[in-house]
């Protein structure tokens, strides 16, 4: 005989016999899968994206980004323990503190990128963001979860306003911002679920929460896979968006021509230490003027602009010097490591440098 039984997710399944345990539901199995993916993804992002050379001028944002990854990984580990092993780590004070840490960590990571005009050094104004972490262990679980998501909703309002302020600069990375918009939508949905958590049966809330975190990790990986330097480009776009126009007295076409000459004749892009300030000085502009000119007239930030020049030079070297190693080509055009070179080349050309050389040399032989 087959009899129907409601499992701990509040969903309906069937079991043979009378006392055999039912298998996990599809929702629970998917949540466990996404929890494992999140742990792997957090480690990958920490090692590949949050490197020192990627956040040279944003050390504080890098630390908060790593803290955010650690917090999300901790939540997913607790979700896995509860959903797969029936270990109630979700009832621990550490889980509640970690839950409250996610939104402030994200805010302190994103603020230097979305509001570069504001000071980023640690100051007393950041202390209120840490207060919920101190209070969280003393809150009973029925109060802690809704409170954490109410706090998170407040940070989401700030994020939504900040992204809306950049609406005029989104054309340069529309698809990537669409993926990050998906992460924002997931966060809004989770905040709503958190407020209704007590009304959801069994483990359903934690299954949905773990799945949402995992899917958000997936969207972030896709966005960074398309554009590894996205955080830098968003920062440059934000600087241009928040600044009052500084180009009123600037001969923009003339500056563009001088910029083209510096890149083409002097190959300034080969300098791995080339900064916005140094390039602006060569053009007799301020950093704000150069940033605004690049974003408003060329539709890209300095990081993207330099990557395109470097990849263009690398394409010529890969075909013109077949015996040169891929690493030597990348270093000679201004990249600081092989991983940076591969990421940028794949982003722009859709393949690795080695594949590009192989395909195009074969075409030339034919």
Instruction: State the CATH number of the domain containing residue 284.
Output: 1.10.10
The answer to which of 34-48, 123-137, 164-178, 181-195 has the lowest mean pLDDT is 164-178
Q: Has residue 242 got a pLDDT over 70?
A: no
Where among 236, 263, 289 does a domain terminate? 236
Instruction: State the CATH number of the domain containing residue 28.
Output: 1.20.1070
Place of tokens 């905040």: 191
In a domain, 199, yes or no: yes
Q: Has residue 122 got a pLDDT over 60?
A: no
Whether residues 295 and 337 share a domain: the answer is: no
Measure the CA–CA gap between 261 and 298, rounded to whole angstroms: 16
Within 8 A by CB and 6+ apart from 127, the residues are none
In a domain, 101, yes or no: yes
In a domain, 104, yes or no: yes
The number of distinct structural domains making up the chain is: 3
Task: Determine what percent of the chain is predicted with pLDDT higher than 90.
Answer: 31
In a domain, 262, yes or no: yes
Over residues 353-360, the mean pLDDT reads 90
Whether residues 139 and 183 share a domain: the answer is: yes
Where among 182, 207, 236 does a domain terminate? 236
Over residues 317-344, the mean pLDDT reads 90
Q: Has residue 79 got a pLDDT over 50?
A: yes
Over residues 221-250, the mean pLDDT reads 69
Whether residues 32 and 118 share a domain: the answer is: yes
Whether residues 182 and 105 share a domain: the answer is: yes
In a domain, 193, yes or no: yes
In a domain, 14, yes or no: no
Whether residues 358 and 324 share a domain: the answer is: yes
Whether residues 322 and 292 share a domain: the answer is: no
Q: How confident is the model at residue 335 (pLDDT cuts 50, 70, 90)?
A: very high
Whether residues 121 and 157 share a domain: the answer is: yes
Whether residues 90 and 183 share a domain: the answer is: yes
Q: Has residue 117 got a pLDDT over 90?
A: no
Measure the CA–CA gap between 195 and 112, rounded to whole angstroms: 29
Whether residues 284 and 362 share a domain: the answer is: no
Residue 4: its pLDDT value, please?
36
Over residues 93-109, the mean pLDDT reads 89
Q: Which two tokens stand for residue 331?
A: 């270093």
Q: Has residue 8 got a pLDDT over 70?
A: no
Print the domain residue range for 291. Answer: 250-299
In a domain, 304, yes or no: no
How many other CB atoms are there within 10 angstroms of residue 277's CB atom? 10
Which class for 272: exposed (0-12), middle (13-18), buried (19 or more C-beta within 10 A)? Answer: middle
Over residues 47-64, the mean pLDDT reads 81
Residue 1: its pLDDT value, please?
37
Whether residues 170 and 38 share a domain: the answer is: yes
Whether residues 82 and 213 share a domain: the answer is: yes
Nearest to 164 by CA among 216, 242, 48, 271: 242
Measure the CA–CA gap between 177 and 187, rounded to whole angstroms: 15
In a domain, 293, yes or no: yes
SS3 annotation, the chain: CEEEEECCCCCEEEEECCCCCCCCCHHHHHHHHHHHHHHHHHHHHHHHCCCHHHCCCCHHHHHHHHHHHHHHHHHHHHHHHHHHHCCCHHHCHHHHHHHHHHHHHHHHHHHHHHCCCCCCCCCHHHHHHHHHHHHHHHCCHHHHHHHHHHHHHHHHHHHHHHHHHCHHHHHHHHHHHHHHHHHHHHHHHHHHHHHCHHHCCCCHHHHHHHHHHHHHHHHHHHHHHHCCCHHHHHHHHHHHHHCCCCCCCCCHHHHHHHHHHHHHCCCHHHCCCCCHHHHHHHCCCCHHHHHHHHHHHHCCCHHHHHHHHHHHHHHHHHHHCCCCCHHHHHHHCCCCCHHHHHHHHHHHHCCCHHHHHHHHHHHHHC
Whether residues 291 and 321 share a domain: the answer is: no
């Amino acid at each position: 005989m087959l009899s129907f039984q409601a499992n701990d997710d509040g969903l309906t399944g069937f079991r043979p016999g009378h006392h055999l345990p039912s298998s996990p539901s599809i929702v629970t199995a998917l949540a466990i899968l996404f929890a494992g993916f999140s742990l792997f993804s957090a480690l990958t992002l920490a090692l590949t994206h949050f490197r020192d050379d990627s956040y040279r001028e944003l050390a504080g944002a890098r630390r908060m980004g790593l803290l955010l990854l650690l917090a999300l990984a901790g939540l997913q580990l607790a979700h896995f323990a509860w959903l797969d092993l029936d270990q109630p780590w979700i009832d621990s004070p550490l889980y509640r503190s970690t839950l409250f840490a996610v939104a402030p960590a994200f805010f302190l990571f994103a603020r230097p990128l979305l509001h570069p005009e504001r000071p980023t050094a640690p100051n007393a104004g950041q202390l209120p963001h840490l207060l919920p972490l101190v209070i969280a262990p003393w809150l009973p679980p029925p109060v802690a979860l809704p409170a954490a998501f109410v706090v998170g909703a407040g940070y989401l309002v700030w994020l939504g306003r900040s992204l809306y302020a950049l609406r005029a600069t989104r054309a340069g990375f529309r698809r990537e911002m669409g993926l990050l918009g998906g992460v924002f939508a997931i966060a809004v949905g989770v905040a709503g679920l958190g407020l209704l958590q007590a009304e959801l049966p069994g483990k359903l809330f934690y299954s949905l929460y773990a799945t949402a975190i995992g899917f958000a990790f997936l969207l972030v990986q896709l966005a960074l896979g398309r554009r590894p330097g996205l955080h830098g480009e968003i920062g440059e776009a934000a600087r241009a968006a928040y600044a009052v126009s500084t180009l009123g007295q600037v001969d923009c076409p003339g500056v563009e021509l001088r910029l083209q000459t510096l890149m083409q004749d002097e190959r300034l892009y080969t300098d791995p230490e080339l900064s916005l300030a140094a390039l602006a000085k060569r053009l007799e502009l301020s950093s704000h003027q150069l940033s605004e000119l690049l974003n408003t007239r060329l539709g890209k930030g300095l990081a993207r602009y330099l990557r395109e020049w470097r990849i263009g030079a690398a394409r010529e070297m890969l075909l013109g010097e077949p015996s040169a190693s891929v690493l030597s080509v990348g270093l000679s055009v201004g990249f600081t490591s092989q991983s940076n070179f591969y990421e940028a080349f794949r982003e722009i050309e859709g393949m690795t440098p080695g594949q590009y050389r192989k395909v195009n040399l074969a075409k030339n032989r034919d």
